[in-house]
Amino acid sequence: MITINPLRVGTIYCDKGKTITQGVDNGKMIYVPSVSWLIKTPTEKILVDTGMPDTHTSHSFHYHGSYQLPGERIDQALKINGIKPEEITKVILTHLHWDHCQNGHLLPNAIFYIQKKEIEFARNPSGTYFRSYDHPALGLTPAFEQYPIKELDGDAEIAPGVSVILTPGHSPGHQIVVVHCSQTYVIAGDAVLCYDNLLPSMQQDYVLPGRHKDSAETQKVIEKIIALAGATHRILPGHDEKVFRKKEYF
């Protein structure tokens, strides 16, 4: 049997309309969780995303007012859940934005599965994306450059029952994770930031995530995720408090 546990790895303070739900609740400041996912299969322990950096870095360089409490750094969050960091053999990074890929060096036995397209864009971002990727041009150090990486070029099976699908839109090399527990769950990364993104609005079929590289692709990806999951409650968004309603998905 395969199970999934959501781990809180920090809290981000942001403008809902600008960041989470495009054009809806503009100017409303909210707190959203940064989430990592622990997947336990009969033979291994896999993580999806490793979360955000410490309070000082998050607050100073990214979203003012964001924080990571003691116990929320990924290695500490694992220990609280009875898992030693060295037990993690694989880490799937949905994408390389600052709040999804930090502190991987604290997982000494993990190989990091990242899409080639995401690595290329992280190294050579455009427009407003330099900060999202901790780009060296800003004097920052991208965490992923220190990791042992397995580059993926499209969809792939990572372990029996655990697969990734390339879903560009939020970022050029974004990937989602499909997990076959007793039901099928889709760990959506930032392709779906919160359950509100799945609600139709007056202007469009869905309330698109506030921040995305390509809106047409983002919309297509949401439709794909809904089809794969079959029901909203089997979609696990990247930044929604509601995912913690359950301690374990199975």
240 is an interface residue for Zn ion by CB under 5 A = no
97 is an interface residue for Zn ion by CB under 5 A = yes
Given the complex with Zn ion, which of 67 and 129 has the nearer CB atom? 129
Given the complex with Zn ion, which of 41 and 218 has the nearer CB atom? 218
- Closest approach of Zn ion to the CB of residue 164, in Å: 16
Given the complex with Zn ion, which of 190 and 196 has the nearer CB atom? 190
- Closest approach of Zn ion to the CB of residue 243, in Å: 16
Three state DSSP letters for the chain: CCEEEEEEEEEEEEEHHHHHCCCCCCCCEEEEEEEEEEEECCCCEEEECCECCCHHHHHHHHCCCCECCCCCCHHHHHHHCCCCHHHEEEEECCCCCCCCECCHHHCCCCEEEEEHHHHHHHHCCCHHHCCCCCCHHHCCCCHHHHCCEEEECCCEEEECCEEEEECCCCCCCCEEEEEECCCEEEECCCCCCCHHHHCCCCCCCCCCCCCCCCHHHHHHHHHHHHHHHCCHHHEECCCCHHHHHCCCEC
Pick the piece of the chain touching Zn ion (CB under 5 A) from 9-17, 28-36, 92-100, 179-187.
92-100
Given the complex with Zn ion, which of 35 and 83 has the nearer CB atom? 35
- Closest approach of Zn ion to the CB of residue 94, in Å: 8
Among 49, 72, 118, 190, binds Zn ion (CB under 5 A): 190
Given the complex with Zn ion, which of 73 and 97 has the nearer CB atom? 97
Q: Return residues touching Zn ion (CB under 5 A).
A: 97, 190
